[in-house]
Chain A
């Protein structure tokens, strides 16, 4: 008996299904790979663009500058610091969220970080922004200008400064910086924010202004007040970055300071030949350089150790006639 309604499953059908499945598999595989390549390319471009965007944010004669970076999709900025070499490296890489594949590309997958020797970014290791990144650029003068640092946080990170000094509140308000709240006590801070206490204890971040100490994750970070009008640069850097990033960047700042001290030693010798030099300054600059080099080797570098030699340097430099000052 032959069932006339039965479907005849011929070899042709079987063959078409097999080859169709292979083609479909290859098409899906190729699409996923292409999307991954697209993401990789776009992330590399964005990392480079963010690095380039940091140049116009740098200060000249100003004591601070602020900026905002808008991102089209949810973006993760990865901050990596290395203190090897003459100036160390600042690496910036970007991950963009996607509906295809995982939300973020796997950390093991190919990634090209934009590397800079002349930038100092203080932020979380991973900053996730839904739409915006906020940047505060501050110069570091110790006593001469060492560099500009950039402090970055995302729109998903909230900070609450409990009983902060008036000058800090004024600066943040004037620069219209977002996601940083000011309250008289930690009890009034939003629960989803990182609480930064200036007078109270047992907070996420504790600041001891008189001892120039910031304590976070049970680790102590040393900061010091910058010379000139931009006093709080390193205090902000310590608040907004984890200990690993902060200590590494301080080591890199010391590397830069040591190189600049070298330049001023040579400039001083230059001036001497034109009857405008100082006999004492090169010696103090050498002490400054040696102190900085010593701190580079420390796991937790202490910038406070540069204070006395910096003050001495500033005094002796100011003592020279204005046209002969080194910095």
Chain B
């Protein structure tokens, strides 16, 4: 009977030790878990920033290079970085080019001379101020723009190539 009491007493002490250890281990696990969550929160925020930065960079590079692409380049006369306004108007009506540049929006603005702010159509061209090639879906995204030379053939004064100042705008897909 005496021996039984002594064993029971040891058992309680051991249980306490086990509980202590269990609490310490649980505390360690919780500590590491919280540290991991804290780290992942910072990591995710950085990821979003990085994605936005890469999109912005792509938009800038694309806007710089787009005047040289065959869909836009004016090739009747040697003119580096000139946009063919006639071609731009044709592409504006083509659905196939909607996803071609991976852009959310793409439009060309006539800066000087600027006849008006109206959107260009086959009916009012060239008496218009803007050609929208890809219509903005309304999502917030990085945008970039660059000044360009706009070239088009005009039949005025027995016909000549008219050069104007314009600006090309692009928004990348978010």
Measured between alpha carbons, how far is A41 from B154 in the docked complex, in Å?
52
User: What total of chain B residues lie within 8 Å of the partner, measured CB to CB?
Assistant: 48
Residues on B with C-beta less than 8 A from A323 are: 76-77, 153, 159-161
What 1/0 mask marks residues of chain B from 130 to 165 whose CB sits below 8 Å from any chain A CB?
000000000000000000000001110001110000
Q: Judge whether B155 and A274 touch: CB under 8 Å.
A: yes
- If A55-B65, A60-B68 touch, whether A270 touches B86 (CB-CB below 8 Å) is yes
Measured between alpha carbons, how far is A327 from B73 in the docked complex, in Å?
9
Measured between alpha carbons, how far is A327 from B97 in the docked complex, in Å?
20
- If A11-B14, A19-B25, A52-B61 touch, whether A267 touches B69 (CB-CB below 8 Å) is no
Measured between alpha carbons, how far is A171 from B5 in the docked complex, in Å?
97
Distance (whole angstroms) from the CB of A279 to the closest CB of chain B? 17
Measured between alpha carbons, how far is A15 from B16 in the docked complex, in Å?
13
Residues on B with C-beta less than 8 A from A115 are: 102
Residues on B with C-beta less than 8 A from A11 are: 14, 18
Residues on A with C-beta less than 8 A from B155 are: 274-276
What 1/0 mask marks residues of chain A from 13 to 30 whose CB sits below 8 Å from any chain B CB?
001100110010011001
Q: Judge whether B78 and A61 touch: CB under 8 Å.
A: yes
A236 within 8 A of partner (CB): no
Q: Judge whether B101 and A12 touch: CB under 8 Å.
A: no
Residues on A with C-beta less than 8 A from B100 are: 86-87, 117-118
Measured between alpha carbons, how far is A27 from B28 in the docked complex, in Å?
11
Which chain B residue lies CB-closest to A115? Answer: B102
Q: Judge whether B61 and A56 touch: CB under 8 Å.
A: yes
B87 within 8 A of partner (CB): yes
Q: Judge whether B86 and A267 touch: CB under 8 Å.
A: yes
Distance (whole angstroms) from the CB of B58 to the closest CB of chain A? 5
Distance (whole angstroms) from the CB of A305 to the closest CB of chain B? 20
Pick the interface stretch among A144-152, A200-208, A213-221: A144-152
Q: Judge whether B159 and A276 touch: CB under 8 Å.
A: yes
Distance (whole angstroms) from the CB of B64 to the closest CB of chain A? 7
Q: Judge whether B57 and A52 touch: CB under 8 Å.
A: yes
B54 within 8 A of partner (CB): yes
Tell me the residues in window 127-181 of chain A with beta carbons closer than 8 Å to chain B beta carbons. 144-147
B32 within 8 A of partner (CB): yes
Q: Judge whether B18 and A23 touch: CB under 8 Å.
A: no
Tell me the residues in window 242-299 of chain A with beta carbons closer than 8 Å to chain B beta carbons. 259-260, 262-263, 266-267, 270-271, 274-276
Q: Judge whether A267 and B87 touch: CB under 8 Å.
A: yes
What 1/0 mask marks residues of chain B from 82 to 97 whose CB sits below 8 Å from any chain A CB?
0010110011001011
B105 within 8 A of partner (CB): no
- If A15-B21, A58-B65 touch, whether A259 touches B96 (CB-CB below 8 Å) is yes
Q: Judge whether A145 and B75 touch: CB under 8 Å.
A: yes
User: What are 14 A-to-B residue pairs whose CB atoms are below 8 Å?
Assistant: A12-B14, A15-B18, A16-B21, A16-B25, A55-B61, A56-B61, A59-B68, A60-B80, A263-B90, A271-B153, A274-B159, A276-B159, A322-B77, A326-B76
Excluding A55-B61, A117-B100, A260-B70, 7 further A-B contacts by CB distance (< 8 Å) are A11-B14, A52-B57, A275-B159, A323-B159, A323-B160, A323-B161, A327-B76
